[in-house]
Structure 1
Amino acid sequence: MGIPALVLIAVATLLACVLVGGGLYETLVIDPAWPRRPGIIQARNGGISRRRFWIPAHSLFELVLIAAIVAAWGDAGVRTALLIALVSHAVMRIWTLLYFVPTAVAFEKADPVEVDESAARRWTRRSLLRLPLDLITAVSLLTALALA
C-alpha cells in the first residue's frame, strides 16, 4: 500500500475521532442543558449553530473515507475495516437525516417557551444511541490504520 492511501486512512481516522469528540461534547455539555433552555440551540436567540460544525465535519469525513477506500481497495484486510466504517457511518447518517435533523430543526425554529421539554429529553436520549455507531466507525478506522 502506498503513502497516499496511508495518509488518507490516517486523515479519515483523525476526522472520525473529531466526530466522536463532537458527539461527546453535545452529549455531555449541550444535551443536558438545552431541553430546559431551548435558546441554547437556537442561533437566532444567541445559541449555538450545530450545523456550522456538523455539516463541514461530516462532508469532509465522508469524502476522505471514500477516497481512502478507493486508495486502499487492493488490501483486503484494510478494505474490510474501511467498509465496516463506511456501513456504520452510513447507518448513523441515514438515521440522523431521517429523524434527528428534522426534529432538531423543529426545535431550533420553535419559540423557546413552546418547546416540549419531554420531547426534547426523548430526542437527547435517542441521540445517545448514535455514539456507539460513531465509535464503531472510529475503531474500524483505527483498525484499518493499524493494518495499513
Structure 2
Amino acid sequence: MHLLSLWTATIAAAVVFLAGSWERIFRMPHWFADPPRSFALITPQTKHSARFWIPVQLLFLVSFITALATNWLRPAVRPYLLTALVCFLAVTIPTATYFVKEILAFSKMNNDAPRTPELLKRSRQWIKWTTSRNILQLISFILLVWALYNEYH
C-alpha cells in the first residue's frame, strides 16, 4: 500500500505541475495581454478550470495524505514527503487567500475600465506569483520522485 500511495501522489503531482505550467505558458499570457480588455477571456474558462482543478487537487491531496500516512515510518521517504508538504502548503494557502480572489476580481472587471498603473501592477504581480507556484509544484513533484527513488534503492 505504501508504494501504491506514493506512486499515486507522484503521478497526481506531475499532473498538477504539468497542467499548471501549461495554463501559465499558453493561457495566462492571453488573459493578461491587454488588461482589462483581455480579462474577458478569463470568465469562459473559469467553470472549465474549476471542473478540472478541484478534482485534480482533491486527488493530489487525498493521495498525498495517504502516502504520508502509509510511509510515515519509512525514514528514507519521510523527509521528502514532509518537504513536499511544505511546498504544497506554500502553494495552497496563497491560492485560497489571494489567487482565486484576484482572478475572480479580474474576470468581473468591466472591459472598458481604465487601464491604470495599479491594475497593470496587480496583473504583473499575479503572473509573477503564479510562476512561483509552478516552481513550488515542480519541487513537490521532484521530492516525490526522490521519495520513490529512495524507496527502491
TM bin (shorter chain)? 0.7 to 0.9
**1:142 CA displacement:** 0.3
Matching residue's letter, 1:108? S
Matching residue's letter, 1:39? A
Who is 1:40 aligned against?
41
Cα RMSD of the aligned pairs, angstroms, is 1.7
Who is 1:29 aligned against?
26
Taking every aligned residue pair, what percent have the same amino acid on both sides? 31
The yes-or-no answer on 1:12 pairing with 2:14 is no
CA shift digits 1:95-142 (9 cap, x unpaired)? 211211111111122233338561323311221111121111001100
- Which runs of 5 or more structure 1 residues have no equivalent in the other structure? none
Task: Give the distance between the partners of 2:96 and 2:150, measured in 1 at CA.
Answer: 32
Task: Give the distance between the partners of 2:6 and 2:66, measured in 1 at CA.
Answer: 9
- Which runs of 5 or more structure 2 residues have no equivalent in the other structure? none
Task: Give the paired residue count.
Answer: 142
Task: Give the distance between the partners of 1:126 and 1:113, measured in 2 at CA.
Answer: 26
> TM-score, normalised on structure 1?
0.87
DSSP-derived class of the 1:64 partner: helix
DSSP-derived class of the 2:29 partner: coil
- Asked if structure 2 preserves the Cα contact closer than 8 Å seen for 1:40 and 1:48, the reply is no
> TM-score, normalised on structure 2?
0.85
DSSP-derived class of the 1:99 partner: helix
